[in-house]
Structure 1
Amino acid sequence: MNEGAVKVLDLFAGVRLTPTQRRIAHCLVEHAGKAAYLSAAEVAGIAGVSQPSVTRFAIALGYEGYPALRRVLRELTGGADGDRGQDHNALQGAVAAEAAHLERLREQLERLDDVREAASLLIGSRPLPVLGLRSAAPLAGYFGYFASKVHPDVRVLDAGGTSLLDRLDQARAAGAGAMLALVLPRYPRESLEAIREAKAMGLAVVTITDSAVSPVAEHSDVVLPAAVGTRLVFDLHTGPMAMAMVLLQAMCDADPEPVQQRLEAFEATASRRNIFQA
């Protein structure tokens, strides 16, 4: 996500959007460079919504209409993708963009309400299913590895196919009350289907995804956005990984005594079994 798109995304922070409005917001973020110069009808055509929906969207953000919103978009995106970091090569530029994403995440974490709500939901779920398919599978495994040190029953769901929903059924039958979903571009259809099924089962869903207007946001109880780097052939997931570890820290803070007991028990076991090189 380039700097202009990040600035556009900030316009929607803290605003409760309808599914149709999320489509419009996603369109403006994805086409940040040119959206500021399109008419309401043209934006509607790209987003697949009606022109009045675009007008209502602008009003929902606090503007008199789409022309007023478009003026703000022009101010935000004008020159945003210019010569910043022109002395860097392409690989340095990609890393610099990741640093900018982490800085934005740092600013986002000044408000911890969503993180704390998510932590409270997840630490109390027995078991705790963690969904991550395709590109999100390694991140789900990474989170699950460390979460298992402080949570008694973490179940990583990192493979799709016909057994995925069976495993989700089993987790619910065993008492699960919430699920963590990690869903990254290009948003696997199976992930969205699993989230919808989890909601139908009565599970609360916490989602770490790349933006607040991700396609999975409308199906989640709590969304924790963290931008994905797009300047290399394959995406960089530094931001989502940082968010996952922040969430795990918040889970530990939400229930400190049992967490400390489990950590001490693990260290004692690791020492007895000589698991790690001294």
Structure 2
Amino acid sequence: MNDLMSKIQNNLSKFSKGQRLIAKYIIEHYDKAAFLTASKLGATVGVSESTVVRFATELGYDGYPHLQKALQEMIRNKLTAVQRMEVTSDRMGDQDILRTVLSSDIDKIRMTLDEIDRRSFEGAVEAILGARHIYILGVRSSAALSSFLGFYFNLLFDNARLIHTNSVSEIFEQILRVGEGDVVLGVSFPRYSKRTLKALEYSKKSGATVIALTDSRLSPLSQTADYTLLAKSDMASFVDSLVAPLSVINALIVAIGMRKQNEISDTFNKLEAIWDEYQVYEKLDNE
């Protein structure tokens, strides 16, 4: 964030009067500016859309969308819950919330499909299949994702472990013996969890292969990971969007399942017998 703000500050003397209004608004309201279109930003500060576009060009960007993306990338871990709520309110206004949210989630899956690194995905699959031990870690809202992944990995592997995260010390106690041949998969989205990051850094230093499921190459998790699986999440809402991350997790489970098909068939045959014997699932009248 400081780099972008410094660039704006250093260019103030070169800006026109209208561009200085834009600069002042961004400096004071960067959390809102990052999600305004060029026309909306111009209307907010009282200048034309073309002035906003020229402002972005003056800063060295190919156009306003590149400046906007830079703003979003730089602030993704800085928005408080209150700021997220304010931004969400500004963006949605009187729109149909159900349609807006579902359409936004569809867009996130599309963007994830376009941007995810296929080689990282395949590398992560290979690393997991060859792992001595598999550790899965996610806290706060990401705990739902890690729990879902842990549920299925416990069916696919006998060496998978979901890390419980009641405290920092408890996390490190559970990964104390992590080392070469192990895989640690960490999940975190803005605002990024320090506990998850520190655990991944420790695992990396201990010789483990680190896989990160996160939202950006600028994510601190990505800087530590051997393989990064990118999935878009809605950083502008006080509610985290987990649709695209969960879709990537589904793909990971299916890809591994296809490679372990024979073993899985045996496992599920045994489970079906157990589920039936102990009446795990409700049977419908027509069964």
Give the corresponding residue for 1:98.
105
What is the aligned-residue RMSD (CA, Å)? 3.5
Tell me if the contact between 2:57 and 2:63 (Cα under 8 Å) persists in the aligned partners: no
Q: CA deviation at 1:144?
A: 0.6
Tell me if the contact between 1:176 and 1:203 (Cα under 8 Å) persists in the aligned partners: yes
Q: 1:70 to 1:137 in 2, by over 3 A?
A: same
Runs of 4+ in 1 over 6 A off after TM superposition: 39-43, 66-69, 84-87
Which one of the candidate residues 107, 116, 120 is aligned to 1:114? 120
Kindly tell me the number of residue pairs found equivalent between the two proteins: 221
Give the corresponding residue for 1:166.
173
Matched, 1:147 2:145: no
Gaps of 5+ in 2: 13-22, 28-55, 69-90
Gaps of 5+ in 1: 1-22, 47-65, 79-83
Task: In structure 2, give the amino acid aligned to 1:157.
Answer: I
Which one of the candidate residues 241, 257, 262 is aligned to 2:262? 257
CA distance in 2, matches of 1:274, 1:153: 27
CA distance in 2, matches of 1:227, 1:219: 19
Which one of the candidate residues 186, 199, 207 is aligned to 1:194? 199
Superposed, 1:59-70 pairs within 5 Å as 70=60
Matched, 1:136 2:136: no
Q: CA deviation at 1:206?
A: 0.6
Tell me if the contact between 2:8 and 2:59 (Cα under 8 Å) persists in the aligned partners: no
CA distance in 2, matches of 1:212, 1:150: 29
Deviations 1:95-145 (A, max 9, x none): 221110011123346x63221110111122233110111221121111111
Q: CA deviation at 1:273?
A: 2.4
Task: In structure 2, give the amino acid aligned to 1:123.
Answer: L
Task: In structure 2, give the amino acid aligned to 1:229.
Answer: D
CA distance in 2, matches of 1:141, 1:185: 18
CA distance in 1, matches of 2:97, 2:279: 44
Task: In structure 2, give the amino acid aligned to 1:254.
Answer: R
Q: 1:218 to 1:87 in 2, by over 3 A?
A: same
Give the corresponding residue for 2:162.
156
Q: Which has the higher contact order (CA 8 A, sep 6+)?
A: 1
CA distance in 2, matches of 1:133, 1:105: 22
CA distance in 1, matches of 2:99, 2:126: 38
Tell me if the contact between 1:226 and 1:243 (Cα under 8 Å) persists in the aligned partners: yes
CA distance in 2, matches of 1:167, 1:200: 16
CA distance in 2, matches of 1:116, 1:132: 21
Q: 1:76 to 1:193 in 2, by over 3 A?
A: closer
CA distance in 1, matches of 2:157, 2:241: 28
Larger Rg: 2
CA distance in 1, matches of 2:142, 2:152: 16
Deviations 1:61-116 (A, max 9, x none): xxxxx9699342425568xxxxx99983244323221110011123346x632211
Task: In structure 1, give the amino acid aligned to 2:148.
Answer: Y
Give the corresponding residue for 1:72.
62
Q: CA deviation at 1:226?
A: 0.5
Tell me if the contact between 1:128 and 1:176 (Cα under 8 Å) persists in the aligned partners: no
Deviations 1:206-225 (A, max 9, x none): 11011222111110000001
Output the TM-score relative to the length of structure 2.
0.65
Q: 1:276 to 1:122 in 2, by over 3 A?
A: same
CA distance in 1, matches of 2:274, 2:132: 23
Tell me if the contact between 1:130 and 1:144 (Cα under 8 Å) persists in the aligned partners: yes
CA distance in 2, matches of 1:186, 1:215: 11
Q: CA deviation at 1:259?
A: 3.0
